[in-house]
Amino acid sequence: MSNISTQKDRIKVLGAGIFSLILVLGVARFSYTPLLPLMQQQAGLGVAEAGWLAAINYAGYLSGAIIASQISDLVLKDRLYRVGMVLAIVSTAMMGLTTDIVIWALSRYIAGLTSAAGMLLGTGLILNWLIRHNHRSELGIHFSGIGLGIAGCAAAVALFSPWLDWREQWFAFTAIGCVLLIPALAWLPRPDTSSLTTTGQKMHDSPPSILYLRIFMAAYFCAGFGYVVSTTFIVAIVNKLPGLAGQGNLVFLAIGIGAAPACINWDFIARRIGDLNALILAALLQIVGILLPVMAQGLVAALIGALLFGGTFIGMVSLVLTMAGRYYPTAQIIGPAITGSLAARLGSYNAGLYFAAGVMAVGTLLLLALKLVERRDARA
């Protein structure tokens, strides 16, 4: 096979990954964030209920992650990935069909399952294809789909809002999802189940030590908390800050713009300083991004915080999946539920953001501890 043909195949496979992530996260998941204020105004969705819907979404993601972690058959992974892409569209359509909180909860749970299909199964299939075809095992280009999905759904809501109500916008996103479904399915080849690369090299696992893995899981638990609080509530948070009413969607767009090239940037950074050092740096910058909107006044500070947050949380996702192969996302369930409850009781999201930043700081300390474990394991 010629080098040009190989590169075309690589572009198509990465394109399938990008479109799948735009579908399961930009459409099925993150469209909920810019639509949240509109649903509160037009559909009577309460703040605490909004938090619980986000929590249920991540319960679905956790369920999907547990299922994905138990599957080693590439053919089965491929089938579930494809089912997940279709269910992403179904879950999006469900949101516009009713104002019943139970149906909304079911929709968010299914959307969480589809997020796992795209983030875990799809990413795993793409990473396997890259390794098997002797390409660099980096996911930066693939994960640009998350940033493009965030920016795209923020731009879509800004475009739709003068013309469509909350219900019609969910149906518009459903139509967009149907278009994204075509390349997400058609461009990803059926998996090769052999244990050899295309050049005949043996593929094998090299897992880290148990201690390393446990600390790594705890660190990601903390990072997941910070990530999910900001991505769920950032539009509502900014809209309630002094002088920033109506600017939340713009800040969410900035997160997407910061996220789109972030994974490619962090791939280069990780090559220079190592994966673990890159994770620590990303975690520190993410704490700053979380706190800037509430610690500094004005739109400029909120936009800088959004760019920092978008430029780091997706980078951490990419680095973690490259290092570990799958998430450990339990924290993402309790994060939005706690933040929604605090906001309902205190009338402000600030406490939730400070709590998220504090948990992120603990996660950063755990990543620093991993460096000591890494040295110990190297000596052993």
Domains in the chain, number: 1
Residue 128 lies in a domain: yes
Q: Whole-angstrom Cα distance, residue 127 to residue 147?
A: 19
pTM of the complete model beyond 0.95: no
Q: For residue 30, what are its two tokens? A: 């993150």
At 351 the pLDDT is 62
Q: Whole-angstrom Cα distance, residue 178 to residue 302?
A: 33
Residue 198 lies in a domain: no
- List per-residue pLDDT tens for the chain, 380 residues long: 456 667 788 889 999 999 999 999 899 988 998 898 899 899 988 878 888 888 888 788 878 877 877 777 888 999 999 999 999 999 999 999 999 999 999 999 999 999 888 888 888 888 888 878 777 666 778 888 888 888 899 899 999 999 999 999 999 999 999 999 999 999 999 876 655 445 556 555 556 677 877 777 777 777 766 666 666 667 777 777 777 788 888 888 888 888 888 877 888 888 888 888 888 898 889 888 888 877 877 888 888 888 888 888 878 877 776 665 433 334 344 444 444 454 455 455 556 666 677 777 887 888 888 888 878 877 76
Residue 289 lies in a domain: yes
At 349 the pLDDT is 54
Q: Whole-angstrom Cα distance, residue 217 to residue 212?
A: 9
Q: Whole-angstrom Cα distance, residue 93 to residue 362?
A: 39
Residue 196 forms beta bridges with which residues?
Answer: 202
At 73 the pLDDT is 83
Question: The CATH number of the domain where 59 resides is what?
Answer: 1.20.1250.20
Long-range CB contacts for residues 91-99, cutoff 8 Å, separation at least 24: 91/28, 92/27, 92/28, 92/31, 92/170, 92/173, 92/174, 92/177, 93/170, 93/171, 93/174, 95/32, 95/170, 96/166, 96/167, 96/168, 96/169, 96/170, 96/171, 96/174, 99/43, 99/44
Residue 75 lies in a domain: yes
Scored b (16 or more CB within 10 A) or e, 101-140 reads: eeebbebbbbbbbbbbbbbbbbbbbbbbbbebbebeebbb
The conformational region for residue 241 under phi > 0 = left, psi -120 to 50 = alpha, else beta, is beta
At 341 the pLDDT is 52
At 334 the pLDDT is 45
Residue with tokens 């299939």: 125
Residue 199 lies in a domain: no
Condensed to tens digits (0 to 9), the pLDDT of residues 343-374 reads: 455 455 556 666 677 777 887 888 888 888 87
- Tell me which residue range forms the domain holding 147: 3-189+206-379
- How far apart, in Å, are the Cα atoms of 145 and each of 33, 180, 273, 291? 17, 11, 25, 25
Residue 200 lies in a domain: no
Q: For residue 109, what are its two tokens? A: 């749970």
Residue 147 lies in a domain: yes
Q: For residue 3, what are its two tokens? A: 């080098």
Q: Whole-angstrom Cα distance, residue 339 to residue 334?
A: 9
Judged by DSSP in three states, 202 sits in: strand
CB atoms near residue 253 (< 10 Å): 23
Residue 9 half-sphere exposure toward CB, CA atoms < 13 A: 15
Residue 170 lies in a domain: yes
Sequential DSSP letters for 323-336: HHSS---THHHHHH
At 232 the pLDDT is 67
Residue 202 forms beta bridges with which residues?
Answer: 196
Of 199, 122, 135, 131, nearest to 7 by C-alpha is: 135
Q: Whole-angstrom Cα distance, residue 371 to residue 115?
A: 31
